[in-house]
Amino acid sequence: MSAGIPAYDKNNIFARILRGEIPCKKVYEDEHALAFYDINPQAKIHVLVIPKGAYVSMADFAAKAGDQEIAGFVRAVGKTAEKLGVVESGYRLLANHGPNSHQEVPHLHVHIFGGQKLGRMIAVERQA
């Protein structure tokens, strides 16, 4: 385990999707990544792109993945956006890491939001 990064849980829901144990509505797949529709969409288009390797978050991926995996994953995000037809209209990428971000699934995923006007940036919780 690296500092601040929990150990990878191989039974997290996205690991199970990668193993084919749970179905998903696939958008794009190659040797490095899988992209599929989010089960609880927060925008007209809401797709998740995940690397095929076992990484908890972007911090874990940046620290441990090989250059080819990183390049392949970034390209897969770009190809998924192309397949979704949102390049011209625009889209937003989001990747949560850790408790402050409310990351739910401990396997790196990049959200792609699009298909509508998305408003400005993020909603921040009020501090007590």
Q: Which amino acid is at 26?
A: K
Round to whole Å and give the CA distance between 99 and 120: 22
Round to whole Å and give the CA distance between 12 and 56: 10
Helix (H, G, I), strand (E, B) or coil at 24: coil
Helix (H, G, I), strand (E, B) or coil at 90: coil
97 as an active site residue: the answer is no
Do 51 and 30 touch, CB atoms closer than 8 A?
no
Candidates 57-65, 68-76, 96-104, 119-127; binding stretch for ligand 5GP (CB under 6 A)? 96-104
By CB under 6 A, the residues from 1 to 60 that bind ligand 5GP are 13, 22, 24, 36-40, 48
Burial of residue 37, with CB atoms counted within 10 A of its CB: 0-12 exposed, 13-18 middle, 19 or more buried: middle
11 vs 40 by CB, closer to ligand 5GP: 40
Candidates 1-9, 52-60, 83-91, 97-105; binding stretch for ligand 5GP (CB under 6 A)? 97-105
* Residue 128: CB minimum distance to ligand 5GP, A: 22
30 vs 38 by CB, closer to ligand 5GP: 38
5 vs 48 by CB, closer to ligand 5GP: 48
- Strand-pairing partners, residue 28, are 35
Active site residues: 109
Instruction: List interacting residues with ligand 5GP (CB under 6 A).
Output: 13, 22, 24, 36-40, 48, 96, 102-105
